[in-house]
């Protein structure tokens, strides 16, 4: 993998030899069409999850009174473990993106791979929770209002995490095979944006479903 030097470092070098001008800011400071497209996509995702979260809030009183109720079926230590993994993965993907910018291939592979492991652990915890809810408590998406709102909100978030894991895995394999080059830093950056987004959404979902909604 031919990882590029930091754009800011390149710019500093160009300033030192006089080849840089005020009209040519470093690439890291320029807003590329890819950044704009990803920003627009994430805004649409914000609107999508806002709708799901608002729906959960509207039916929160009925959800708390459901049988079985959230207070009865949720196993908080399992959810806290999953949440800890996902929050930690935001830090690891940040370190991975920084390692890529600095040309540190081994660091990128390590931090990016750890992000995948943490995200996969989150999905495994979610699968364990769903197995208990369905197998032990008989809670399904069609059981009652609690089941409908819970599986819809948490299910769509888990789907987004799964898609993110697939993209992260593709980038990791490409880096391992040295197929990433100078043009890949934008891709690494926008994938990290997406991952930070799904992590941020989970903080809201966790607070609403497992803390306020119990």
pLDDT confidence of residue 11: 46
pLDDT confidence of residue 206: 98
pLDDT confidence of residue 24: 46
| Secondary structure in 3-state letters for 86-137 | HHHHHHHHHHHHHHHHCCCHHHHHHHHHHHHHHHHHHHHHHHHHHHHHHHCC
Average pLDDT over the chain, rounded to an integer: 89
Mean pLDDT over 120-139 rounds to 97
The whole-model pTM stands at: 0.85
Taking the C-alpha atoms of residue 134 and residue 101, their distance in angstroms, rounded to an integer, is 45
The model's pLDDT over 62-104, given as tens digits with 9 standing for 90+, comes to: 999 999 999 999 999 999 999 999 999 999 999 999 999 999 9
Taking the C-alpha atoms of residue 167 and residue 197, their distance in angstroms, rounded to an integer, is 14
């Amino acid at each position: 993998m031919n990882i590029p030097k930091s754009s800011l470092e390149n710019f500093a070098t160009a300033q030192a030899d006089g080849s840089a001008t005020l009209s040519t800011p470093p690439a890291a400071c320029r807003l590329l069409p890819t950044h704009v497209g990803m920003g627009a996509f994430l805004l649409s995702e914000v609107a999508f999850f806002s709708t799901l979260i608002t729906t959960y809030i509207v039916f929160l009183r009925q959800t708390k009174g459901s049988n079985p109720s959230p207070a009865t079926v949720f196993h908080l230590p399992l959810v806290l473990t999953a949440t800890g993994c996902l929050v930690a993965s935001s830090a690891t993907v940040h370190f991975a993106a920084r390692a890529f910018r600095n040309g540190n291939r081994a660091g990128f592979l390590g931090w990016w791979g750890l992000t995948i492991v943490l995200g996969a652990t989150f999905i495994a915890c979610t699968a364990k929770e769903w197995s208990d809810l369905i197998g032990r408590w008989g809670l399904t998406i069609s059981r009652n209002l609690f089941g409908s709102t819970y599986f819809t909100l948490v299910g769509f978030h888990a789907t987004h995490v799964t898609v993110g894991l697939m993209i992260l895995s593709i980038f990791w394999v490409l880096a391992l095979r040295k197929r990433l080059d100078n043009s890949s830093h934008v891709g690494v950056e926008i994938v990290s944006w997406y991952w930070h987004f799904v992590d941020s959404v989970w903080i809201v979902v966790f607070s609403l479903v497992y803390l306020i909604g119990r």
